[in-house]
Structures are given as C-alpha cells and as structure tokens.
Amino acid sequence: MPGRDPNPLTFADADFPALFLAADHASRQTQRRYSQMTAVILGGLVAGAALSGLSRLFPDATPVIAFATAGITSLSFMLTTIRWALKPEKHWYAARAVAESVRSLTWLYVMDAEPYVPSMTADEASTKFIGDLRATIQEQGQAALGFGSEFTEHPQITARMRALRSSSLEARRDLYLTARLQDQRRWYGARARRNQSAGTRSYILIQFSQAAALASSVLLVSPYMSDWDFAGLFSAIASALIGWMHLRQYQELAHAYAMAALDLGLIEERGSMIKTEVDLAAFVLDAESAIGRERSLWTARRQ
C-alpha cells in the first residue's frame, strides 16, 4: 500500500515530539560537559602529585616543576569553581527528566491510554497532549532554557504519532511490545552489564593503586630507592578513581538497571493477554508507571 510504514514495529527518535529531541540533546550535552570537567579536575590532582614526585628525581628542574604544578592546580581550582557555579549536573538531570517524561507521554498518546482515552476526538487528544508538554517544561523551570534551537521546526505531534493513534489494536500492541518494552529491557540489561563491568575494573585499579602507594612508601626506606617518592602519586590516583566511581555510581546503577529489566520482563509476559482496547490501555499505563518509578529513583539518587 502506498505510504505504508515499511517497518511497523519501529519508532525512531525522529518520530517523537520536538521537545523530546531538544531535551534529549540538552541532556547529552550537559552530561558530557559535566563528565569532562570532572575528569580534568581529577586528572589535575593526579598530575600535580606526579610532578611533586618528579621534583625529588630532578632537583635542578624544581622551579620548572613547581611552576607547572601551580598551573595545573590553578586550572583544577578554576574548573571546580566554574562547575560549582554552572551546576551542569542539575541541567543534565532536569533535561533528562523532561526527555523521559515526554517519551512516556508520547507512548500514552499513540496507544490511546490514559489520559488520552479513545473517547476523545483527535483534536481533544492533541490539545491535551500539547498542554501536558507545556506543563512538563514549566515544571523544570530554568532547565528548559538550555534546549537546542535546531529542533524548532520539528513538529510536536509527528505524522507517525497521528498515524499510530488511529491504527489497529494489534498494530499498536505489537509496536509497544517491540519498540518500547523490549527495547527498554535491552537498554536496561546492557547498561546493567556495562556498569557492573566498569565498577569491577575501577575497584581493581583502586586496589592496585593503593598497593602501589604502600609499596612506594616501603621503598622510601631503601638506600637505593630513597628518591623515588611516588606514594603521593598512587594515592592521588586511588582518590581520583574513588571520586570517579562516586560520580558514575557503577554498582548502584547496575543493580537498579538489572531490577528494572526484570520488572519490565514480568510486565511483558502479560502482553499476550491483551485482547481489547481496555486491556491495552491498562497494560501501557502499568508499564509506563514502572518505567517512571525507576526514573524517579534514579533522579533521587543523582540529586
């Protein structure tokens, strides 16, 4: 049939409202900026400790090393001040909250689920949806100001959204199971494994750095290695890694993502029982509530 979607079981990012695209873009940008600033700050502490250790090996270069150490320390100090003033993590969390809220509202809209019930006309449902998008922005206040302008020409209700809302029960059910639940489960599962692996690697590196710091301290009493003072360097590396683990929250997120994937798996098992519009609406609302609970817990932990 002309104009028919070649793959009815997909729902791409471009099919979501402009507000989702803008908030998602802002969230990724501010997350990247926050992580980069933190990495430079922690790296500066490690570099300063490394230079302090070298000053004993190269006493003639002490003035140069001291100048370099002062420069690195000043950079870390300035970045820490800038990060505190800008608070990019707050904008990251707020933009992510907007993006995920809009994503959930979109699925409720295209599935004819509460509050966009089938008894509404197309215009009534669209008016309600636009009002909810506006309320979502207002709830986040200043965080909405960071959204990109490159999505201003993208519609808030896309043609794909309108077409799906008027499609058959079976088409909407299959789409939701595939493009929402299964996709979300895969995402949670992959993130759980990635965070678990990253947490394990970080723990091993921290243990190695602490052992190296201890070994360096012991070697200082040796008459042959008395100038090799790298205990401070390895201690700084361990501290930086601990700070990075605290920022990334690997173990906490691994557990939360794994539990969310299991929860969605239990909900997905009920998909085969959907026979009516009422069944589908209740199923979608339950699934979105479960996803929303995980998102709320994530936001609370981050803040």
CA separation for the pair 154, 158 (Å, rounded): 8
**pLDDT above 70 (res 143):** no
- Does the pTM surpass 0.85? The reply is no
Q: What is the pLDDT of residue 3?
A: 43
* Residue where a domain stops, chosen among 129, 149, 166: 166
**Can you give the residue range of the structural domain that contains 214?**
168-303
161 and 267 together in one domain: no
Task: Give the model's confidence band at 1: pLDDT under 50 very low, under 70 low, under 90 confident, else very high.
Answer: very low
> Are both 135 and 174 inside the same structural domain?
no
Based on the fold, state whether residues 213 and 125 are members of the same structural domain.
no
Predicted pLDDT at 226: 58
Residue 253: name the closest of 204, 300, 205, 208 by CA. 300
Q: What pLDDT score does 6 carry? A: 46
pLDDT, greater one: 23 or 5? 23
Domain total of the chain: 2
Residue of 204, 183, 194, 19 whose CA lies nearest to 105: 19
Across 75-102, average pLDDT: 87
- 62-90 burial, b at 16+ Cβ within 10 Å, e below that, comes to eeebeeebeebeebbeebeeebeeeebbe
Candidate from 4-8, 98-102, 151-155, 194-198 with smallest mean pLDDT: 4-8
Q: Do the beta carbons of residue 232 and residue 212 sit within 8 Å?
A: no
Same domain? 36 vs 106: yes
CB 232 within 8 A of CB 69: no
Structural domain contains residue 72: yes
Position 7 scores a pLDDT of 61
Q: Distance between CA atoms of 156 and 238, rounded to whole angstroms?
A: 47
CA dist 165 and 170 (Å) reads: 12
Stronger pLDDT, 93 or 229, i.e. the higher one? 93
Per the domain annotation, does 81 fall within a domain?
A: yes
Position 162, amino acid: R
Read off the tokens for 43. 């790296």
The answer to whether residue 223 is domain-embedded is yes
Query: When comparing pLDDT for 185 and 49, which is higher?
Result: 185
Q: Is 87 helix (H, G, I), strand (E, B) or coil?
A: coil
**130 and 181 share one domain:** no
Bigger pLDDT: 296 vs 197: 197
Query: Residues 11-21: what's their mean pLDDT?
Result: 93
- Same domain assignment for residues 138 and 197: no
Q: What is the pLDDT of residues 213-263, one digit of tens each?
A: 888 887 777 666 556 678 888 888 999 999 898 888 888 889 888 988 998
Cα distance between residue 202 and residue 110, in whole Å = 42
Residue 7 in any domain: the answer is no
State yes or no: pLDDT of 298 exceeds 70: no
160 & 176 share domain: no
Q: What pLDDT sits at residue 4?
A: 47
The count of residues in the chain is: 303
Query: Does residue 39 sit in the same domain as residue 141?
Result: yes
Are 151 and 240 contained in the same domain?
no
Residue 103: pLDDT over 50: yes
